[in-house]
Amino acid sequence: MRTLSERLDIFRSSELYPVVSSEFCLGRDVCSIVADIAAAGAKIVQIREKNLSDSSMFELVKKCKEITDRSGMLLIVDDRVDIAVATGADGVHLGQEDFPLTEAKKLAPEMLFGVSTHNAEEIRRALSDNCGYLNIGPMFPTRTKSVACGALGLEKIEELVPMVTCPFSVMGGIKEHHLEMLCSKGFRHIAMVTEITQAPDVCQKVKQLRQIMQRGLV
């Protein structure tokens, strides 16, 4: 079992952050998408499922963990601290209305907890609660997640970044053509959903996206 320090090291060394939801896989099996992402060398993947039963979610995450374990990847579960603990996943990504971070850390102190943030107040709270990493977004309009604030835009996110003192990712409507520009501005961890999960060849797409990021982050 990895320690929190080991998990943070892997997160820091990652670039592309694929997020997989069956809703956006064009009917394809989630595990097969995760396997393609792993084959492309990604270092982290998040499973986001809002409508599965507890038993179905447990079985899905357990199968995905077999894939990520073989590849040395981090497996992050969206929202579900209980499922993450039960399956031995590496971490949980928490939204503003999800299980409180301070209580989650008591249940699993070696787990990597990420927090979705949309403004300065939420960033300050996540940092105060000692999150492992945080996400700022949505950057651009997106149909994969609805938040009251709407798209923040690049300029607003750039205003928020200086206050962040932990690793962070950005996401929300980000496509391949955005990557070179975002990397040039210093965004090191970029989360993407449909650009990956709806690609005709997921493995090839992930390789391509990672190559763009690696070139841009040199």
pLDDT band at 147 (very low <50, low <70, confident <90, very high): low
pLDDT band at 149 (very low <50, low <70, confident <90, very high): low
The predicted structure's pLDDT at residue 146: 57
How high is the mean pLDDT of the chain?
95
Answer with the residue of higher pLDDT: 114 or 147: 114
CB of 136 closer than 8 Å to CB of 152? yes
The predicted structure's pLDDT at residue 145: 66
pLDDT band at 113 (very low <50, low <70, confident <90, very high): very high
Exposed e or buried b per residue across 126-136, where buried means at least 16 C-beta atoms within 10 angstroms of its C-beta? bbebebbbbbb
Any idea what DSSP says for residue 92?
E
Please give the share of the chain, as a percent, with pLDDT higher than 70.
97
The predicted structure's pLDDT at residue 63: 98
pLDDT tens profile 43-95: 999 999 999 999 999 999 999 999 999 999 999 999 999 999 999 999 999 99
Give the H or E element holding residue 152: none
Answer with the residue of higher pLDDT: 217 or 113: 113
- Please list the residues that pair with 170 across neighbouring strands: 136, 190
pLDDT tens profile 162-203: 999 999 999 999 999 999 999 999 999 999 999 999 999 999
Give the pair of three-digit tokens for residue 37.
């992402």
Give the H or E element holding residue 131: none
The predicted structure's pLDDT at residue 218: 64
What is this structure's pTM?
0.96
